[in-house]
Structure 1
Amino acid sequence: MQYNFPKNFMWGAATSAPQSEGHSLENGKSATTWDKWFEMNPEKFYNNEGPENTSMLYDHYKEDVQRMKELGFNSFRTSISWARLLPDGKTVNQEAVDFYRDYFNELLQNDIKPIINLFHFDMPWWLMEKGGWENSQSSDYFQFYAEKCFELFGDQIQNWTTFNEPLVHIEMAYLHGYHYPAIHDFKKAITVGYNTLLAHAKAVKALKDSEYANTAKIGIILNLTPAYPKSEAAADKLAAKNADLLNIYSFLTPALSGKINDELVALLKQSDLIDYDQIHFDAEIIKYCEVDFLGVNYYQPIRVQAPLKHAEKIEDPSDLYANYEWKERRINPYRGWEIYPEAIYDIAKTIDKLSDKPWYISENGMGVADEERFMNADGMIEDDYRIDFMKEHLAQLNKAIEEGSNCIGYHTWTFIDCWSWLNGYKNRYGFYRVDLNDYSRTIKKSGLWYRELAQNNGFD
């Protein structure tokens, strides 16, 4: 069967500044939470692989852009490092400006549209010392940073996004322990989420108030993880609904409508987890949450059932739903994530019900450890598993597009193997293998397949 995609469909990949650039405490950049956490607790990081060097894109971006062009990319998403551009939150680092302007110019000269994200989990340490996203002033600091980005790079960049996966820095730092400060406090997580939402809105407003309001567009990158109930029982279906309210509609509804989801507010208000009066007070800024386009990161679904215990008051997400293992699931054993391509179609349908705004798959990919096992005699990793993964997900995406969904692109995670927080380089995702001894890049079989995909605007 032939799968064809719309004309001018975006083909490319995504990465982030902290996971690819390297030079993490050099060239005028100040520390982020990752730099400090690695300094304090290096044992938490796989193989003691910290954020210092990552993939050294800072030194290799010109050649890497040429590699993107060879793979047929017409678009690419990365981020600006807040701590590199504004090391103290106020003063512009001119070396960072020169680096980013040259990087973006390389992309533009090679007909690769840059989509530039403002925040990818890399909280500057100076702001973390003030409370990070718990601080009610954090959204104002972020607004200032956004304004500087638009001022310094607005003549080059026409497509901006505010946050990558805002739910992740909320959950991982305040519920699950994988990002600093690694605490478990649902009340604080809600506060962090609300301040993040305000920061997003203020950044959108900053662009709309700038000289580039008529030429630039701004969006947000959301990890949409649909919940599927264990059964048709009312309690299981309610658990799935509540999981979606928390994990999907918390940011999706504001991004598509400029309003916080009423059902979510009611759910959290009954346990005093959210200040309704504050939401009403902030309504004028919250309306700016509405975006021009949406990015969707999809890796896995969640399977839920009714909570295992009754709770009079919600004090944790487990009071709303419990996870369970679906007997028919397929698993990527390296990440422990379920492989379920059908969810991309379901996500498309969810978006279609809410809006006709353009959206794209901003991340989709498969992380595998010890890929050298699949290296052939010529030194190429034959990652057929990654090709099959993309084919299955693209088939479901194509089905949604054929039915009218306004999806405008498909980006993978990622272009070259990158550093991944506490996991370091344990799991590899790239079309190019990075040798950590000398940071050389070697194309994988999936890169050759993706080149044909982009050139043909489809696949068999």
Structure 2
Amino acid sequence: MKYEFPQDFWWGSAASGPQTEGAADVDGRKPSIWDHWYKEEPGRFFNNVGPVNTSNFYYQYKEDIQLMKETGHNSFRTSIQWSRLIPDGIGEVNPKAVAFYNNVIDEMLANGVEPFINLYHFDMPMSMQEIGGWENREVVSAYATFAKTCFELFGDRVRHWFTFNEPIVPVEMGYLYDAHFPNVVDFKRAVQVAYHTTVAHALAVKEYHALKQDGEIGIILNLTPSYPRSQNPADVRAAHIADLIFNRSFLDPVTKGEFPADLVEILKEHDVLPTYTEEDLAIIKNNIIDILGVNYYQPRRVKAKEYAAHPDAPFMPEHLFDNYEMPYRKMNPYRGWEIFEKAIYDIAINLRDNYGNIPFFISENGMGVEGEDRYRTAEGYIDDHYRIAFIKDHLKWLHKAMAEGVNCKGYHLWTFMDCWSWANAYKNRYGLVEVNLDQDYKRTIKSSGRWYKELSDNHGFEDAE
């Protein structure tokens, strides 16, 4: 069967500044929370590999953009590092950063690769974290100024802007589960961080629309469908609560301008409502997005609570539901994630039916694999046939959703080249292009990269059913 996609479909990939640029301590860049945390606790990073060098994009961007062309990209998302552009978080703009980002944008456009630019990818400048990060209202204002600065500097050429990548992740990992800096475990503070992030997002959207530039602005959300163990009302309710907390907490305010009433009720009931103002709520109401980026990796499966939480334990989302492990699920064993391709269809249909069929694109989807070297061919490249199969299996479900009227504009894989992945460092590789850290960051296109070019050139693929 031939799976055809529109002629103007966005084929590309996504990455971020902190995960690819390297050059962490040169040309005026100052530390982000990642640089600081690595300095304090290097043992919390896989093989003690920190954020200093990452994948050397700062120096090899011209070569990399050529490789984007060779792998069929007509678009590519990366991020501008706040800690590079405005190193103190507020104040002086770094001219060397302006020159670098101008060069990257111009090089992409010269090679037919449309730049999609994101403004925040987990990388709070340490100077901003020191005054409280997203808990502090001053940081919200500083972010809005950073966003406006980016629009003014680069908006004459960048037509696709995104305020945040996966804003729920710093909330979960930094303020609930002790997995990212600042390693806080406090539901109330997590809610305040999420709320202020939403306000910051809305302020950036307001700034962008005020400039009347020729483009669109959105946000990138990792939508993780919550599937109940059964149709028993208790399981269904548990799945609904998980969906409210992890998906709709951001999806509803950015698309509809308001928080779900039943989420607000849960927060009230547990006395964890954020400090807010009516003025904030009006800003959120009046500044909804033009386009949505959807990151999808894995489903969430939940069931009703089996045991009550300890009365003295700090309140957590899991006090309201239990995670459920479906028997015989298909797994990516390296990442510990379930592979469930149909969810991409379910997300798309939900956006069609419950969110006004908002224009969206798959902004991340990918497969991290450890030890890819074992798939190296005699010719010296990695034959990652499993990644090709993974992409095809997700695209089939996306194609079905598009045939049923969803408003999908493109598909971006995570990621273009192997990159540094936070505390996991280089443990799992995701790229269409291999980065060899032992050979001066040598790039080699994998089988998936060659196949991706065919996919893009042919506006789809054929596959036996």
Deviation at 1:284, TM superposition (A): 1.6
**What is the match of residue 282 of structure 2?**
284
**What is the match of residue 108 of structure 2?**
107
Three-state SS of the structure 1 residue aligned to 2:347 is: helix
Residues 1:331 and 2:356 aligned together: no
**What is the match of residue 120 of structure 1?**
121
Deviation at 1:414, TM superposition (A): 0.3
**What is the match of residue 273 of structure 1?**
272
Structure 2: how far apart are the matches of 1:111 and 1:142? 30
* Matched-pair contact (CA < 8 Å) for 1:197–1:289: no
Residues 1:321 and 2:325 aligned together: no
Deviation at 1:386, TM superposition (A): 0.5
* Matched-pair contact (CA < 8 Å) for 1:158–1:215: yes
Deviation at 1:336, TM superposition (A): 0.2
Give the alignment's Cα RMSD to 1 decimal.
1.3
Specify the code of the residue in structure 1 equivalent to 2:306: L
Specify the code of the residue in structure 2 equivalent to 1:105: D
* Matched-pair contact (CA < 8 Å) for 2:254–2:284: no
Structure 1: how far apart are the matches of 2:286 and 2:148? 15
**What is the match of residue 441 of structure 1?**
443
**What is the match of residue 17 of structure 2?**
17
**What is the match of residue 229 of structure 1?**
228
Alignment of 1:41-440 (within 5 A): 41-88=41-88, 89-210=90-211, 213-275=212-274, 278=276, 280-310=278-308, 315-353=315-353, 354-437=355-438, 438-440=440-442
Deviation at 1:355, TM superposition (A): 1.7
What do residues 291-343 of structure 1 show as CA deviations (whole Å, max 9, x unaligned)? 00000000000110012334699921011111011003111010000000000
Specify the code of the residue in structure 2 equivalent to 1:34: W
Structure 2: how far apart are the matches of 1:284 and 1:230? 38
Three-state SS of the structure 1 residue aligned to 2:119 is: strand
Deviation at 1:71, TM superposition (A): 1.4
Deviation at 1:73, TM superposition (A): 0.8
* Matched-pair contact (CA < 8 Å) for 2:156–2:213: no
Deviation at 1:256, TM superposition (A): 1.2
Three-state SS of the structure 2 residue aligned to 1:209 is: helix
2:452 to 443, 450, 455: 450
Three-state SS of the structure 2 residue aligned to 1:433 is: strand
Deviation at 1:356, TM superposition (A): 2.2
* Matched-pair contact (CA < 8 Å) for 1:309–1:319: no
Specify the code of the residue in structure 2 equivalent to 1:283: L
Structure 2: how far apart are the matches of 1:279 and 1:190? 15
Structure 1: how far apart are the matches of 2:38 and 2:278? 40
Structure 1: how far apart are the matches of 2:306 and 2:288? 36
Three-state SS of the structure 1 residue aligned to 2:39 is: helix
User: Percent identity between the aligned chains?
Assistant: 52
Specify the code of the residue in structure 2 equivalent to 1:415: F
* Structure 2: gaps of 5 or more residues: none
Structure 2: how far apart are the matches of 1:458 and 1:154? 31
Specify the code of the residue in structure 2 equivalent to 1:260: F
What do residues 377-401 of structure 1 show as CA deviations (whole Å, max 9, x unaligned)? 1111111110110010000000000
Three-state SS of the structure 1 residue aligned to 2:174 is: helix
Structure 2: how far apart are the matches of 1:232 and 1:433? 44
Specify the code of the residue in structure 2 equivalent to 1:266: E
Structure 2: how far apart are the matches of 1:6 and 1:116? 23
Structure 1: how far apart are the matches of 2:428 and 2:175? 24
* Matched-pair contact (CA < 8 Å) for 1:172–1:178: yes
* Matched-pair contact (CA < 8 Å) for 1:254–1:289: no
Q: What number of residue pairs does the alignment pair up?
A: 457
**TM-score, with length taken from structure 1:** 0.97
* Matched-pair contact (CA < 8 Å) for 1:25–1:52: yes
Between 255-264 and 358-367, report the one with greater CA deviation.
255-264
Structure 2: how far apart are the matches of 1:18 and 1:190? 25
* Structure 1: gaps of 5 or more residues: none
Structure 1: how far apart are the matches of 2:229 and 2:423? 31
Structure 2: how far apart are the matches of 1:159 and 1:281? 28
Structure 2: how far apart are the matches of 1:343 and 1:222? 15
* Matched-pair contact (CA < 8 Å) for 1:114–1:159: yes
Deviation at 1:289, TM superposition (A): 4.3
Three-state SS of the structure 1 residue aligned to 2:137 is: coil
Specify the code of the residue in structure 2 equivalent to 1:241: H
**TM-score, with length taken from structure 2:** 0.96
Three-state SS of the structure 2 residue aligned to 1:287 is: helix
Structure 1: how far apart are the matches of 2:287 and 2:134? 17
